[in-house]
Amino acid sequence: MAEEEPGATVHLLCLAASSGVPLFCRSSRGGAPARQQLPFSVIGSLNGVHMFGQNLEVQLSSARTEDTTVVWRSFHDSITLIALSSEEDSAELRLERLLHMVFGAMVLFVGLEELTNIRNVERLKKELRASYHLIDSFLGDSELIGDLTQCVDCVIPPEGSLLQEALSGFAEATGTAFVSLVVSGRMVAATESWWRLGTPESVLLPWLVGSLPPQAARDYPVYLPHGSPTVPHRLLTLTLLPGLELCLLCGPQPSLSRLDTQLLERWWQPLLDPLRACLPLGPRALPDGFPLHTDILGLLLLHLELKRCLFTVEPLGDKEPSAEQRRRLLRNFYTLVTTTHFPAESGPPEKAEDVVHRAQLPRACYLVLGPGSGWQLVALQLGMRLLLLLLSPQSPTHGLRSLATNTLHALTPLL
């Protein structure tokens, strides 16, 4: 498993499937937005070979060259998305999920009708510009991982029960079932209705809130790619503290003016200290004092049924490697174990042979990086939970499974 190259380039192309007209092209280099654009001849060739295959009833999904991985996806026979990555050993899974998130972001801003029934290409191009900042965040080195895991990034607040109680009361007072608290793009707490949102909007909405410039309040029209792709809803956000936002998903009511200072103070002023305790949870995800082994440099915990995850590379101090390197290593390891060792979907077995197959599936695996670094990665799956750990070189290899098992048992009550 190669670590992602610092200068790796990712290109994202969006075209109208019927005409091949480019709608936009976004790029990143080294995790930062780049102005580099592919020549029109290259864009035309990439789309042309895909269309040629479709005409012969052949579905071209991915290809590799010496230094580039290419993935194609068509959506509703109307939009074609193409992703190219120069990252060494880049996995198709990562690019496939990137394309699904990008299309979800497009639907979030303009609605499915505009994308499946394109009447005016130039107008659609202009409307899609509103989605660029969200799409660019998928191409960059994000601190979140929901774009890859398709699970909601969460944090564990120290006084979660108090926040949950206040959130439910506030939702009832405003007549809105969909309410959540978001810190730095991660979910702190949410009402039951919000947790029932489907994929990808459950991942996209907090990610969108975390990617927007700070504002005291917003009234944002959004479509729900799964739940309401043709009828817009309103996303209201209210900043309780810098970086901590209260989000409401609603229809015409309530108006933003109805959510006055008096209503906010009634529900949230008494909880000022628990709210402040949520602010450092952005990068850490876990509350201060949570017992973690000193060898753990980063962790990713997924609940495959609830579609939620905890992701942190800052459990302990500022040891090597850097936070950026840790995130890349865990993302690459997740891609490796998901495509190689663990099934992507976990549901009830339908046939007797499925039961036998699952009995033969691995429950744990590990990887030692080298030469020179010696960092270790271990993955453990128990039931609906999958845990990935990045460990320091001094952690003994024979104790990896025991360490992972103990850590998973400690984290299980949280997620």
Segment 338-366 shows an average pLDDT of 66
Instruction: Tell me which residue has tokens 């609830």.
Output: 306
Instruction: Tell me which residue has tokens 């978001």.
Output: 182
Segment 59-88 shows an average pLDDT of 92
Cα separation of 149 and 334, whole Å? 8
Segment 84-99 shows an average pLDDT of 88
| Confidence at 3, pLDDT banded by 50, 70, 90 | low
| Confidence at 276, pLDDT banded by 50, 70, 90 | very high
Would you call the peptide bond into 349 cis, given omega within 30 degrees of 0 as the criterion? Answer: no
| Average of per-residue pLDDT values in the chain | 89
Segment 177-189 shows an average pLDDT of 96
Packed helices 201-211 and 132-139: angle between N→C axes, nearest 10 degrees: 100
What confidence tens digit (pLDDT) does each residue in 279-296 have? Answer: 999 888 998 888 899 999
The amino acid occupying position 15 is L
What's the pTM? Answer: 0.92
| Confidence at 241, pLDDT banded by 50, 70, 90 | very high
Q: What angle do CA 64, 65, 71 make, to 5 degrees?
A: 35
- In this prediction, residue 161 carries a pLDDT of 92
Cα separation of 244 and 28, whole Å? 28
Using a 10 angstrom Cβ sphere, with 0-12 exposed, 13-18 middle and 19 or more buried, the burial of residue 159 is middle
- In this prediction, residue 362 carries a pLDDT of 82
Please check the confidence at residue 317 and state whether its pLDDT lies above 60: no
Three-state secondary structure call for residue 327: helix
| Confidence at 265, pLDDT banded by 50, 70, 90 | confident
Please check the confidence at residue 345 and state whether its pLDDT lies above 70: no
CB 189 within 8 A of CB 160: yes
If one compares 187 and 6, the residue with the highest pLDDT of the two is 187
